[in-house]
Amino acid sequence: MNKIVMLDINFDYGNEIQTINPVLLISKNDVVLVDCGYPNFLSFLEDEMKSKGIDPNSLTKVLITHHDDDHMGALYEIKEKYPHIKVVSSEIESEYISGKRKSLRLLQAEEVLKVMPEEQKQFGIEFCETLRKVKPVNVDIMVKDGDNFDWAGGCQVISTPGHMPGHISLFLTKTNSIVTGDAAVIENGELVIANPQFTLDLNLAENSLEKIISMNADNYYCYHGGKLVRSATR
């Protein structure tokens, strides 16, 4: 009954096919979706879940690792269609997910826009508008570093700040696996920092990356890049 299911969500972005990899943590009493894609991605999620034999109605929780639009964008429509689902995040990120505080990514984008070359400003304006359209959702359950759950046979919350201040990852004890969120992405078969040029605190992000690498997990489930299996290389 306890298992981890990685979803492959393929979509067109800027005339390029891109992929994100949300993860489902399945246990006897819970089906937890970790991150949920951009706004209007609910149908992608439902179709991919069904293709893997999982009923979307079985979802009990959505855990948001951090409040970037590609990780929480579809949360509002998920909650609208499946109101029984509980939203989970760190306390810090809950302030932004719920809309109590302005998105840090939007604040960053607005500052970058001020110094953008004229020929790039239209893109910057459109990006800011995209971020403003992300609808807030109240967080039902706030978690912190070291909290334990029975998801997928055993799950511990890991604080991994840097990319965002309240970013969290998950250590899955039964399979010695880590769900990284954006604390790490896979590039050329290695774990690296996600978009260092947009990371809010690069030093903290580097520490978080070192932290999850030093845990020597057998599997790393990365939202960008998919699954990295380390056990086979040891």
Can you give the pTM of this predicted structure?
0.96
Reported as a pLDDT band with limits 50, 70 and 90, residue 230 is confident
pLDDT in tens, 159-197: 999 999 999 999 999 999 999 999 999 999 999 999 999
Report the 10 Å Cβ neighbour count for 106.
Answer: 19
C-alpha span between 56 and 59 (Å, rounded): 6
pLDDT at position 150 over 90: yes
Instruction: Give the CA dihedral 104, 105, 111, 116, nearest 10 degrees.
Output: 180
- Output the six-digit token pair for 113: 């826009």
How far out from the chain centre does Cα 174 lie? 21
Q: Measure Cα distances from 23 to 48, 99, 122, 179, 206 in Å.
A: 11, 24, 34, 8, 23
| CATH class of segment(s) 3-233 | alpha beta
Write down the mean pLDDT value for the chain: 96
Q: Is 151 exposed, middle or buried (0-12, 13-18, 19+ CB in 10 A)?
A: buried
- Output the six-digit token pair for 175: 């399979």
In degrees, to the nearest 5, what angle opens at C-alpha 32 toward C-alphas 187 and 206?
Answer: 35
C-alpha span between 55 and 48 (Å, rounded): 10
